[in-house]
Amino acid sequence: MRLSQYFLPVLRDVPKEAEIVSHRLMLRAGMVRQQASGLYSWLPLGYKVLMKVQKIIEEEQNRSGAIQLLMPTIQSADLWRESGRYDAYGKEMLRIEDRHERDFLYGPTNEEMITDIFRTYVKSYKDLPLNLYHIQWKFRDEIRPRFGTMRSREFLMKDAYSFDLDKDSAVKAYQRMFVAYLRTYARMGLTAIPMRADTGPIGGDLSHEFIVLADTGESEVFCHKDLLEKPIPAPGTDFRGDLSPIIDDWTSLYAATEEMVNTAEFEAEVPAEKRVSARGIEVGHIFYFGTKYSEPMKATVTGPDGKEITVHMGSYGIGPTRLVPAIIEAFHDDDGIIWPVSVAPFEAVLINLKAGDADCTAACDALYGELNAAGIDMLYDDRDQGAGGKFATADLIGIPYQLILGPRGIKSGEVEIKHRQSGERETLPIGDAVARIT
């Protein structure tokens, strides 16, 4: 992508309204634009990152055996009356009336709708287990939307829903999501710790929140330090096998959110030098809630003996539009964002130091062509502008590699590569650039 033809509305000034660094950087880097309180447009650069985050989520959901579908954002109030949550949900629910004066709502979550789909089609125990997920916009009329897309009113959620014959198999479904979540965050470069959590309005008796430690996080959390270093389950993990050893390993060390912490227990279980009491960002939340929805909504299957069995369910949320700022909170410096390669909007940026010079531009164009042909997703700063501004933009938007080429390099046949993360610079023959990056 040629920057001269791209849409990258970078801001020079630090926006006053942004309280935390990720929000400031997302505005400055032209990733998002606030349209109203808690409502954001994702501009091209931000959208590319969001798509990469979603793709990782999808790949790990699919790997674990979950199946993707797509449900609408608008839901009928009648479904929610069946579960009893229409009145219970309160002011966070955006209620809508259509022209026929029928009650609808903008979905804050989808337990009711997925249960309706399930009960319509699934009739036999032979069709279980089943885990269906989608990535769809949600709306919650948050009392205090803030920190940009970290806590917005309209936000994306990956929500998965598992259906099983009994509690034992439902717990196995829960374990599959637990492992999928560990892998998902790790692939984005994040250390997210599963912590015992309150089940809140979803209800149920088994729940973990996945928390990324950050000073700007809104939750207070307590955990054992060794959880920060635990190895992540490998890609080859057998999701059809017994995952209990992995879960036991992760849950044997103390980790709880402020709603669930018991200070006496925390201090008894964790030696003083291993105690982490910090702030964190909730980037995911998984629940097992048994028959809370299947019972009132009559989601049953016929068991092996012909009897009706009410299915056991769980739900599993991840917030992609919150993950993007969470990643920035973890990876930035004074100059801007430092994207982990896996979610970077472009793999590399090529900086033409002298776009006004015909030879320099010809050499840069040629290199750009080669990098493109090698399948590298490139940003090419071909603008006729001073080098200082180009470096500042490249640093701000956080592309992992900066390839810098000017008249001097062309003379010696060399390109300079700056690694955004380490700040290291190396000089190599122009012809070796493609191989160095791939």
User: What are the residues binding ligand ATP (CB under 6 A)?
Assistant: 140, 142, 151-152, 155, 157, 282-285, 317-319, 321-322
Rounded to a whole number of angstroms, the minimum distance from the CB of residue 58 to Mg ion is: 21
Helices marked H in 64-110 — which ranges? 77-83, 85-88
Q: Which of 153, 285 has the CB closer to Mg ion?
A: 285
> How far is it, in rounded angstroms, from Cα 345 to Cα 47?
8
Span between the terminal Cα atoms of the chain, in Å? 18
> How far is it, in rounded angstroms, from Cα 361 to Cα 351?
10
Q: Are strands 206-213 and 192-196 parallel, antiparallel or unpaired?
A: antiparallel
Rounded to a whole number of angstroms, the minimum distance from the CB of residue 97 to Mg ion is: 25
Q: Which of 141, 357 has the CB closer to Mg ion?
A: 141
* Chosen from ligand ATP, Mg ion, none, partner binding at 114 (C-beta under 5 to 8 Å by type): none
Does residue 259 contact residue 198 with C-beta atoms inside 8 Å? Answer: yes
Structure tokens at 267: 């201090």
322 near Mg ion, rule: CB under 5 A: no
Rounded to a whole number of angstroms, the minimum distance from the CB of residue 91 to ligand ATP is: 13
Return the residue nearest ligand ATP (CB atom).
319
Please name the helix (run of DSSP H) or strand (run of DSSP E) that holds residue 327, with its range, or none.
helix 320-330
Q: Which of 116, 282 has the CB closer to Mg ion?
A: 282
Q: What is the DSSP string of 270-288?
A: S-GGGEEEEEEEEEEEEEE
* Chosen from Mg ion, ligand ATP, none, partner binding at 420 (C-beta under 5 to 8 Å by type): none
Please name the helix (run of DSSP H) or strand (run of DSSP E) that holds residue 436, with its range, or none.
helix 433-437
* Chosen from Mg ion, ligand ATP, none, partner binding at 29 (C-beta under 5 to 8 Å by type): none
Rounded to a whole number of angstroms, the minimum distance from the CB of residue 111 to Mg ion is: 13
Q: Which of 187, 285 has the CB closer to Mg ion?
A: 285
* Chosen from ligand ATP, Mg ion, none, partner binding at 319 (C-beta under 5 to 8 Å by type): ligand ATP
Return the residue nearest Mg ion (CB atom).
285
Structure tokens at 269: 């279980």
* Chosen from ligand ATP, Mg ion, none, partner binding at 183 (C-beta under 5 to 8 Å by type): none
Number of C-beta neighbours around residue 368 at 10 A: 21
285 near Mg ion, rule: CB under 5 A: yes
* Chosen from Mg ion, ligand ATP, none, partner binding at 321 (C-beta under 5 to 8 Å by type): ligand ATP
Cα→Cα distances 131→118, 280, 371, 416, Å: 10, 28, 40, 49
Q: Can you say how many angstroms the Cα of residue 123 is from the centroid of all Cα atoms in its chain? A: 34
Rounded to a whole number of angstroms, the minimum distance from the CB of residue 230 to ligand ATP is: 20
> How far is it, in rounded angstroms, from Cα 2 to Cα 141?
39
Rounded to a whole number of angstroms, the minimum distance from the CB of residue 30 to Mg ion is: 28
* Chosen from ligand ATP, Mg ion, none, partner binding at 34 (C-beta under 5 to 8 Å by type): none
Q: Which of 153, 354 has the CB closer to Mg ion?
A: 153
Q: Can you say how many angstroms the Cα of residue 51 is from the centroid of all Cα atoms in its chain? A: 10
Per CB under 5 A, residues contacting Mg ion are 282, 285
